[in-house]
A = this chain, B = another copy of it.
Amino acid sequence: MPMTRPKTRIQQRNSETILEAALDVFSAHGFRGATLDQIADLAGLSKPNLLYYFPSKEAIHQALLTRLLDTWLDPLRDMNPQGDPVAEVMAYVRRKLQLSRDYPRESRLFANEILQGAPRMRDAIAGDLAALVAQKAQVLTQWMDQGRIARLDPVHLIFSIWALTQHYADFDVQVRAVLGEGHDPYAEAGVFLDQLYARLLAP
């Protein structure tokens, strides 16, 4: 009974394959836009076989969201209160931008969920995420009090980093359509965001 925790190696591998396929489909079409047929096709399994590994469509989606949140918050967790303030914030920006570049599907999965009111993530957001932001906002405030970075609303500063980095994954189609051929959006964004936060944070 692989309800909660698959045991054998084959089960592990198949669960993995399913989640990988599901990430593709859910991130591209949203929860309701995705179909089990699409996921099964992409995973190379039959639909009933899919439902042997996960009890429902909802369960697959939930599994993706759960594993996502941790990855998503890691870069912020890594912001070190002992480090150099400007360098720490800018390193956070770079890590977050890399995350958008390397895991755009995860970013879009998350965006789809929030955009529609976070029906399956409300608790996690009001809980873990809000707590982490509060904690890091305190660190930022301390740095501001010490005059080591410019005084700004620390929470909105964090929002700005989320907005500016996730934009490149979530609005990828628009970014590429506007830039046209021959551009590397993430490379250009890296340069631009470096300049932006260097200017913004300077005390």
Binary B-proximity of A98-132 (CB < 8 A = 1, otherwise 0): 00000000001001101111100010011001100
A200 touching B191, Cβ below 8 Å: no
Q: Report Cα–Cα, A159/B133, bound state, in Å.
A: 25
| B163→A122 contact, CB < 8 A | no
Contact B33 A116 (CB under 8 A): yes
* 1/0 contact string of A75-115 vs chain B (CB within 8 Å): 00000000000000000000000000000000010011011
Copies of this chain, how many? 2
The segment out of A7-15, A16-24, A47-55, A169-177 that lies at the interface is: A169-177
If the complex has contacts A32-B33, A116-B30, are A162 and B167 also in contact, measured as CB distance less than 8 A?
Answer: yes
Collect the chain B residues with CB atoms within 8 Å of residue A125's CB.
173-174, 177-178
Interface residues, chain A, with chain B CB atoms under 8 Å away: 28-33, 108, 111-112, 114-118, 122, 125-126, 129-130, 133, 150, 152-153, 155-157, 159-160, 162-164, 166-168, 170-171, 173-175, 177-180, 188-189, 191-192, 195-196, 199-200, 202
24 A-B contacts, Cβ less than 8 Å apart?
A28-B117, A29-B116, A111-B111, A111-B115, A111-B170, A111-B171, A112-B115, A112-B116, A115-B115, A115-B170, A118-B177, A125-B173, A125-B178, A150-B199, A153-B191, A156-B188, A159-B175, A160-B196, A162-B171, A163-B163, A163-B166, A164-B164, A196-B196, A196-B200
